[in-house]
Structure 1
Amino acid sequence: MIALPPELLPQLGDGLWHLFAVFLRVSALVSLLPAFGERSIPTRVKLGISVAFTLIILPATPAPIPAPGLLPMVRLIVTEILIGVALGLGLRLFVLALQTAGSIAAQATSLSQILGGAAADPVPAMGYVLTLAGLTLAVLLGLHVHVAQFLIHSYMLFPMGVAPAVSDLSEWGVQRIARSFSLAFSLAMPLVIASLIYNLALGVINRAMPQLMVAFVGAPAITFAGLFLLFAGTPLILSVWADALFSFIVNPVGASR
């Protein structure tokens, strides 16, 4: 057995503690990360992704100053997990925005029950298609590279072991949730407008010709219009969503204002 010199043992302990502290924030974020943290991804794969991100960003993160005692260690562990979960929720809200936009569009165009249980989360077909397409686009645009940069920059916004103020964190969370619903409604706006025009036209025709069963004529029309708008508007919807996602990654604090 090879014996290590006594002077290397403190350095080895500090290096392992640094690795563990970085892994705490990274693993908490990866558990909520779009595409890499989905519920359909096995836990072992998520663990491997967390280790890979940890090894990538470890050289660029400042090493924590090990404080003696159990309480400082517990405080550091809880703080790093809290920061990772907060940043992961900020990213996860963009996936929820796509799902909400799909639900709004599906309800507006009477397509809410088709393939409703095809995803891990019970969402309509439009929400499932938009979510899957958005996650695929994000990965193709280099989501993993942007997330690595995001994690490195997070140590400038939230230094290791320094817990954010509760008031600032709650205000930031409320802004992110409000921004998520605003983005979802903006993405579904074309189909909501089409539904409004359809219902107005249907009401006028019904008043003009009460004997005509306008529901039987209008149901195929709104279905076809909804599918056509989904086909034609998905590139623009995903472009707006991707820009919002990567704007948040670049500036997670200012993106909500």
Structure 2
Amino acid sequence: MISFSSNELIALINSFIWPLTRILGLIAVAPPFGNNTVPVQIKLSFGIVLALIVAPTLPLTPDLDPISLNGVLVLAQQLIIGIGMGFVMRMVFSSIEMAGEVSGLTMGLGFATFFDPQTQGRSSAIAQFLVLTATLLMLTMNVHLAMLEALVGSFQTIPISTTFQMGFNSHKLVIWGEEIFSVGMRLSLPIVAALLVTNVALGILTRAAPQLNLFGIGFPITIGVGFLMVALIMPYLLLPLQNLFQHGIEAMQSMGAATQVPASTPGKP
């Protein structure tokens, strides 16, 4: 009969529950794992299987009672690290959603909105189309596997400890938020530029022929030009999205670089 002492049992539980908490934090936020259409049972089962694989490879974990105050603090520490790493990739998709929102509003499709199960809010048709395209490219390029690799590597750069000095660079996470706006505008720039030229041409046409019904011909033309530009830029989206995903993975990997950088030094992913 196999018997365990209380200390051995606590050590066994700690070696599993600490990495499981960090893994579940990433799965709860990062796409495509964090999508609300994915059942909770699938997310939990995937996290448990991944924790069972990762736990034996980790160094010794803190010898703490999981239900003590320090144990709860370590648990919260691991959850924050996992959510922070997943939030980086969530912001990558937020920038793609912003590009679709800007493009849709410029095309005149601001009224064509749908319920987005990922964000639990409204989203335009162009934004959902770009997000679905980016998700398929993400799975095709095995970015989800690179995310899991970065998560496993974080246990070396941000080890599990009781000092509560995680080495987690939260400043980098905040600076990374600017990517939502800069990348979103860059992705939507071809469509916005083409529609700007179209609107200028319609304005000149209206001045030259005031009897034309601008509202009657303007909306079909801007929507048609917008869809034409979306079709034209689709073959060229592979490289920008690939660079964006790579940038996101590098930002996840650098979240633990604060241990070598002073806290007052601004970092950028």
Alignment TM-score, normalising by the size of structure 1:
0.87
Tell me the CA shift for residue 118 of structure 1. 5.0
Total equivalences in the alignment: 251
- d(CA) in 1 for partners of 2:165 and 2:208? 65
> Is the contact between residue 106 and residue 124 of structure 1 (CA under 8 Å) also seen in structure 2?
yes
- d(CA) in 1 for partners of 2:249 and 2:57? 17
- 2:82 counterpart (63, 77, 84): 84
- 1:62 counterpart (48, 59, 65): 59
Q: Report whether the alignment pairs 1:192 with 2:189.
A: no
- d(CA) in 1 for partners of 2:206 and 2:227? 24
Q: Report whether the alignment pairs 1:100 with 2:127.
A: no
Relative to structure 1, is the Cα distance of residues 38 and 106 closer, same or farther in structure 2, using a 3 angstrom cutoff?
A: same
Give the AA of the match of 1:26: I
Gaps of 5+ in 2: 256-266
Task: Give 1:236's aligned residue.
Answer: 236
Give the AA of the match of 1:135: T
> Is the contact between residue 179 and residue 256 of structure 1 (CA under 8 Å) also seen in structure 2?
no
Task: Give 2:50's aligned residue.
Answer: 53
Tell me the CA shift for residue 238 of structure 1. 4.6
Task: Give 2:21's aligned residue.
Answer: 24
Deviates most, 194-203 or 153-162: 153-162
Give the AA of the match of 1:158: I
Tell me the CA shift for residue 59 of structure 1. 3.5
Tell me the CA shift for residue 67 of structure 1. 3.8
- d(CA) in 2 for partners of 1:210 and 1:227? 27
- d(CA) in 1 for partners of 2:54 and 2:109? 44
- d(CA) in 2 for partners of 1:127 and 1:72? 44
Structure 2 residue matching 1:173: 3-state secondary structure: helix
Cα RMSD (Å): 2.4
- d(CA) in 2 for partners of 1:4 and 1:251? 45
Task: Give 1:72's aligned residue.
Answer: 70
- d(CA) in 1 for partners of 2:40 and 2:195? 42
Tell me the CA shift for residue 180 of structure 1. 1.7
Task: Give 2:37's aligned residue.
Answer: 40
Structure 2 residue matching 1:122: 3-state secondary structure: strand
Q: Report whether the alignment pairs 1:149 with 2:149.
A: yes
Deviates most, 138-147 or 57-66: 57-66
Tell me the CA shift for residue 48 of structure 1. 1.4
Structure 2 residue matching 1:123: 3-state secondary structure: strand
Alignment TM-score, normalising by the size of structure 2:
0.84
Tell me the CA shift for residue 244 of structure 1. 1.3
Give the AA of the match of 1:75: L
- d(CA) in 2 for partners of 1:103 and 1:95? 12
Identical counterparts, % of pairs:
21
Tell me the CA shift for residue 6 of structure 1. 5.2
Relative to structure 1, is the Cα distance of residues 79 and 128 closer, same or farther in structure 2, using a 3 angstrom cutoff?
A: same
- d(CA) in 1 for partners of 2:79 and 2:116? 28
> Is the contact between residue 190 and residue 229 of structure 1 (CA under 8 Å) also seen in structure 2?
yes
Tell me the CA shift for residue 95 of structure 1. 1.6
Structure 2 residue matching 1:63: 3-state secondary structure: coil
Give the AA of the match of 1:108: T
- d(CA) in 1 for partners of 2:12 and 2:197? 63
> Is the contact between residue 18 and residue 78 of structure 2 (CA under 8 Å) also seen in structure 1?
yes
